[in-house]
Amino acid sequence: MRRFSVNRRLASLGVLGVLVLGLALSTVSCSSRPSYGVVLWSKNEASVKTGEIVRIRSQSQLSSTYLIALPHGKGNLEIDNWRVSPFRHERDAINFAAAYAPYVTETARSRSAGIVLYQSPSLTAQRVYRMRANQEVKVISRENLPGSSGAEGTTWYEVLTGDGVLGYCQNFDLVLGRGETAGSQGSSIDAALSQTFRPASFQNMIDTGRIDLAKFAPEFGFFPDPSTHSFRIVTPKLSASYRYSAIKDLGENQYAFVGTPVQMSLLSPSQIQLHYLGPEGKQVSEQYIAMSNDEVKLAIEKEHNRRLLLYGSFLDKGSFRSNYYGRISFSSEMTFSWTGFSRLQPDVIPAEVSGEGTVDFPLFLSDALSASYDGVITFRFGGSSGRSAVSFLYAFRNGGLQLTYAPPSTVTDGVVAEVGPSPIIIYFSYNR
């Protein structure tokens, strides 16, 4: 149903981001107001049936609804925008209805919680929705995409959620309304092992906008290579390669890689859990999600840009001076020079460091602190063989810069959670 995909038709109108049909349709101007529609998912089949072509009499921007004429002169009905695919011309509605006909009665449910819907049928596309466990969706279309280098292709379903979001997911992630899984179990494990997986923490960092580049890197993940019966597991604490002779089905979506100490739980083809012995001989159980190199690189690029933007706010204000804590100047290469900071040694700044180094922004503010501070800046001093990184909460206020020391004890998982009970606060004025 490629030609008449609702998703692609909205994209052609310039609608970006989350595909919430009601919001998308609210942007249609009066000159392009639709006259016809095809019902994608009827709320009341007795009044109007799914797949039926209807006349659109008017639309309400306020309530995000259409007023449609019921078939056979039975009056009018107000219906949510997202339940109708709109068209200006009747012939387009007829063509769409014909292509949609095979899926009119087709619904499905998510196989597990956390199934992702994508903006287009690709694992590198924007993620627009995450489904609940056993969530019902309406099937809109299906696309069979060929595999590369002779590999088996992938089937994607275009689905509509009960709260009006349209997106794509792989067939293995769904159980069809007639009770059948959209893909066989054998092909499901094959499909899973054709992907690259990253620690589930990667997605959490992307979702929260708090990416720790020490833990978020392209080399970390689960990298299967079914063609050679091998895989690699790489984490900040482990880098190991394994070869297996076979994959043993243990039942209930559990698999063992024969000849290795690694087992895998297939939560969905895009979500797995690995069980293996860690570097200290302890049993490790970690969740991984499918994520391509392109997705990882894009997230890293955005994080670098975030840090550069923060640094720019310091460069724009020139250097900073204080009668008590010296003078700080910054260069375009994210380096600094700080003189006259002896009053901060050794309680804040180590005694043996030089006054030059690099600047970075690897830490984040907690939600509780974000209203009071602009960010967290980290100075990495040179000339020290020990601790050289010193972080401060900062705020530009009253014509100057306020720095509040953030000791390591206030940092948890890269987030400054609190200000200490007796914070060290220093002030600098702009020295343009």
Confidence at residue 192, expressed as pLDDT on a 0 to 100 scale: 84
Torsion of CA 9, 15, 16, 22, to 10 degrees: -90
Q: Are 217 and 236 in contact (CB under 8 A)?
A: no
Distance CA 104, CA 112 (A): 24
Tens of pLDDT, residues 26-77: 333 444 577 899 999 998 888 889 999 999 999 888 999 999 988 777 789 9
Confidence at residue 349, expressed as pLDDT on a 0 to 100 scale: 94
Tens of pLDDT, residues 113-138: 888 999 999 888 899 999 988 889 99
- Provide the residue type at 382 as one letter: G
In percent, how much of the chain has pLDDT > 70? 87
The larger pLDDT score, comparing residue 384 to residue 249, is at: 249
* Residue 24 confidence (pLDDT) above 70: no
pLDDT band at 377 (very low <50, low <70, confident <90, very high): very high
| Mean of per-residue pLDDT scores for the chain | 85
Q: Are 37 and 71 in contact (CB under 8 A)?
A: no
Go through the chain and tell me how many residues it has: 432
Residues paired with 431 in a beta bridge: 319
Distance CA 275, CA 250 (A): 13
Q: What is the DSSP letter of 165?
A: B
Give mean pLDDT, residues 286-296: 91
Angle at which helices 200-208 and 293-315 pack, to 10 degrees? 40
Q: Are 157 and 169 in contact (CB under 8 A)?
A: yes
First to last CA, the chain: 62
Identify the top-confidence range among 13-17, 151-155, 204-208, 250-254.
204-208
Least confident span in 151-155, 202-206, 287-291, 326-330: 151-155
* Residue 108 confidence (pLDDT) above 80: yes
Distance CA 230, CA 252 (A): 23
Confidence at residue 244, expressed as pLDDT on a 0 to 100 scale: 92
Give mean pLDDT, residues 256-280: 88
Tens of pLDDT, residues 330-345: 998 999 999 999 999 9
pTM (whole model) above 0.85: no
pLDDT band at 187 (very low <50, low <70, confident <90, very high): low
Give mean pLDDT, residues 403-425: 93
Question: How would DSSP label each residue in 2-27?
Answer: -TT-HHHHHHHTT--SS-BHHHHHTT
Confidence at residue 30, expressed as pLDDT on a 0 to 100 scale: 44
Distance CA 59, CA 26 (A): 9
Q: Is 219 helix (H, G, I), strand (E, B) or coil?
A: coil
- 405: its two tokens: 């020391």
Q: What is the DSSP letter of 45?
A: T
Q: Are 197 and 164 in contact (CB under 8 A)?
A: no
Question: How would DSSP label each residue in 172-210?
Answer: GGEEETTS-BSS-HHHHHHHHTTS-EEEHHHHHHHHHT-
Question: Which H or E run contains 116?
Answer: strand 116-118
Distance CA 200, CA 146 (A): 28
- Spell out the alpha helix ranges (H) of 231-323: 293-315
Give mean pLDDT, residues 365-387: 88
pLDDT band at 147 (very low <50, low <70, confident <90, very high): low
Least confident span in 178-187, 208-217, 364-373, 375-384: 178-187
Confidence at residue 337, expressed as pLDDT on a 0 to 100 scale: 96
In percent, how much of the chain has pLDDT > 90? 53
Give backbone dihedrals phi and psi of 217, rounded to 5 degrees, phi first.
-150, 155
